[in-house]
Chain A
Amino acid sequence: MQRVGVFVCWCGSNIAGTVDVEAVSEALKSEPGVVFSTNYQYMCSQAGQDMIKEAVKEHNLTGIVVCSCSPRMHEATFRKTAAAAGLNPYMVEIANIREQCSWVHKDMLTGTEKAIILGKAAIAKVNLNTPLTPGESPVTKRALVIGGGIAGIQTALDIADAGFPVDIVEKKPTIGGKMAQLDKTFPTLDCAACILTPKMVDVAQNEKIRIFSYSEVSEIKGFVGNFDVTIKKNARFVKEDVCTGCGACVDKCPMKKIPNEFNLGMDNRKAIYIPFAQAVPKVATIDPNACNMLKNGKCGLCAKVCTAGAIDYTQKDEYIEEKYGAIVVATGFNPISMDKFDEFAYNQSKDVITSLEFERLTNAAGPTAGKLLRPSDGKHPHTIVFVQCVGSRCDACAEKGKEYCSKICCMYTAKHAMLTRDKYPDTEVYVFYIDVRTPGKNFDEFYRRAVEEYGVKYIKGMVGKVTPEGDVLKVQASDLIANKQLHIDADLVVLAAAIEPDKSARPLATMLTASMDTNDFFTEAHPKLRPVESPTAGVFLSGACQGPKDIPETVSQAGAAASKVIGLLAKDKLTGNPCVAHSNELMCNGCSSCERVCPYGAITYSDKEFRMPDRTTKIRRVASVNPAVCQGCGACTVACPSGAMDLNGFANSQIMAEVDAICK
């Protein structure tokens, strides 16, 4: 039998205002196992804690019940107190008589009655408590960053800066991501390449960072501190360590008509290519779907001109296995497809483009060398219509588009419009908007400058349809302020397409058992207080994979994710939560119900040999829980039909005892 001490807290007048604390401590005195009961003004204060410690000594207490605020608030405090008094910290139970009692009741009688019942339930539970000891697991001091855009780059640099080795896995032939495709960045208009490429070089030169480009993660096993990851390095048919990036092979390659992904198909590249001049690693890659040598065995020109001897047509995909302590997801975003938005004639006219395509058109390294020319005829456009919110802020039931605001479009459209008017003052620029959303440092000032100083025509309303007629685009739109329907003959229409998470995010989330929302953005552990952590321990989030973000926000989040990773890797050992599930193998019938409901992938099945009463042996399939992965949610204990699964600290018998105490 336990010797239980009950400590009722007044919490000033927070509890004592609507609960008769004296009556509560008195009533709980006669509960089974209770040998001491008292009340005090502030239990969590030093004096209150000392009172508990003394009572433990004086009355030889084996269990403690504190009737106070929510366990979220002070459970940890009182566990420490118990430990200091020489008790196992898991012999403490909290009865929440503040948030769930005194704060919601106005009447002293009902409040007191409920507080007594809650106290009885906690006493019933503590009578069945057993001392628990948390397990420990080692930490592999290496981090994995999935995605090599600005988010991944910044996270990797920050982790490496703290002295931990980092690997970046990037599926494209080069790191840099979307930011490498941009021309200028709002609101200060620095050139994207000028601020990004030095960082890319830093990554390449950092001894702590390894880059796996043209690679993807193919398997993830393990748990926080101990992930086993298999990385698939796709064959690029060029020896990465030998290639000097001189580009002689690219010059000689006869396959010239391959749409260039980096310029969004607005010009062509060769079958062997380096995505852009500042690519990291600056190594050529052969596109196996375009190369004549790989397809038909005819050609081999690149191998002939390569003085370094880097070309290897027999290269195979390579699988690399590595251990990591922490994983950062930085898979980024893409603009949505415009296929369902027929009204804007995106698929009918080359002169209807997305904003990312516009970005390439104005980039000095782009298909037009930075001159703003129409994709159809290479003429300078004189009237440009920008359409905002294409596919953003749509109804959840609509067949097309996304429900959320894509956040970055208002600002980049203002930037495009401003830069166009600055470079080509003879151009009429219209921006059709629903709302202009500019919450950010110097953002609204930037947008106002576009209107007031650069004469961009902002019109509140939406474009209804775009009809290509000859070499003009007939734009029909509404001007809600003037209450007019407008008809504009435009030369170029730019659509601010909504953004969505990269398609690789969903399968990755499955591998990580990390949760996602309905839009495939990764979910954070807490939207306000834990914004860069996934609910899955050891998995962190950086950049637009968690939600639409601009560059300043992405970089801050990348740094935050890195600091969380550093905090984890700095530990030699991880102390687990002892309140984890365990399976009674004698009762387990191997049905897999628990494995299916476990959100963390903590449960595995194995065949085990059991001795039967008649001295024979039998092989049965039984569940076992990995305590380092289990987060103690208890879903398995509910799902288990045979009652084999139980949760330490929240055992079925303890929960039932609480219910009985309440219902008595």
Chain B
Amino acid sequence: MNNKEYLQEEIIRRSGVNPSKCMRCGKCSATCPAYDEMEYHPHQFVNMVESGDIEPLLNSESLYKCLSCFACIDRCPRNVEPAKLVEAVRLTAIRQQGANRMTANDVPQMIEEDVPPQLLVSAFRKYTK
């Protein structure tokens, strides 16, 4: 398996999204509030994962323009969940940069009353290799 295929499989596995369910209606892009900021729009994002073009996505600013509002997930008629793909590519980008940014030992200090535990769980997942 070459790197391109490996990346594609990683993204699909991490996100739990099946991009081949997309019927290309474009409702994700129609609904996206950050559309104009993006180089690759949500429907293109899904299409690029489906065809294995992950590299350009990893290097695109679009990745960080997504607000994670999940409007696309809510409105997609095919349950494709584009925002989850964005999240998986972000995670891949972070992991490629290497280094554990968070260890289990860091967690106790972060526990505060106003920090939701869910946030720590996701942060730990995201910033640990």
A480 cross-chain contacts in B, Cβ below 8 A: 24, 26, 29, 43
Question: Does residue B102 face the partner (Cβ distance < 8 Å to A)?
Answer: no
- Residue in chain A with minimal CB distance to B38: A485
Question: Are A393 and B26 also in contact (CB < 8 A) when A464-B31, A465-B31, A483-B41 are?
Answer: no
Q: Are A461 and B77 in contact (CB under 8 A)?
A: no
Q: Are A464 and B27 in contact (CB under 8 A)?
A: yes
* A264 to B75 Cα, complex, angstroms: 27
* A36 to B76 Cα, complex, angstroms: 69
* Interface residue from A463, A464, A477, A485 paired with B36 (Cβ < 8 Å): A485
Contact indicator per residue, chain B 10-47, by CB within 8 Å of chain A (1) or not (0): 00000000000101111111111001100001011000
Q: Are B32 and A485 in contact (CB under 8 A)?
A: yes
Question: Does residue A476 face the partner (Cβ distance < 8 Å to B)?
Answer: yes
B27 cross-chain contacts in A, Cβ below 8 A: 462-464, 478
Q: Are B23 and A434 in contact (CB under 8 A)?
A: yes
Smallest CB separation, B34 vs chain A (Å): 10
Question: Does residue B79 face the partner (Cβ distance < 8 Å to A)?
Answer: yes
Contact indicator per residue, chain A 463-505, by CB within 8 Å of chain B (1) or not (0): 1110000000000111110010100000000000000000000
* A401 to B27 Cα, complex, angstroms: 15
Q: Are A395 and B77 in contact (CB under 8 A)?
A: yes
Which size class do B's interface residues fall under?
20 to 34
Q: Are B26 and A478 in contact (CB under 8 A)?
A: yes
- Residue in chain A with minimal CB distance to B33: A476
A residues 319-367 with Cβ under 8 Å of B?
Answer: 343
B41 cross-chain contacts in A, Cβ below 8 A: 478, 483, 485
A277 cross-chain contacts in B, Cβ below 8 A: none
* Interface residue from A395, A477, A483 paired with B21 (Cβ < 8 Å): A395
B residues 56-79 with Cβ under 8 Å of A?
Answer: 71, 75-79
* A462 to B26 Cα, complex, angstroms: 5
- Residue in chain A with minimal CB distance to B31: A464
Q: Are A398 and B30 in contact (CB under 8 A)?
A: no
Question: Does residue A74 face the partner (Cβ distance < 8 Å to B)?
Answer: no
A465 cross-chain contacts in B, Cβ below 8 A: 30-31, 71, 75
A483 cross-chain contacts in B, Cβ below 8 A: 41, 44
Question: Are A476 and B77 also in contact (CB < 8 A) when A434-B23, A434-B24, A485-B36 are?
Answer: no
* A255 to B120 Cα, complex, angstroms: 63
* A463 to B31 Cα, complex, angstroms: 7
Contact indicator per residue, chain A 396-438, by CB within 8 Å of chain B (1) or not (0): 0110010000000000000000000000000000000010000
The residues of A with any CB-CB pair to B shorter than 8 Å are 343, 389, 393-395, 397-398, 401, 434, 460-465, 476-480, 483, 485
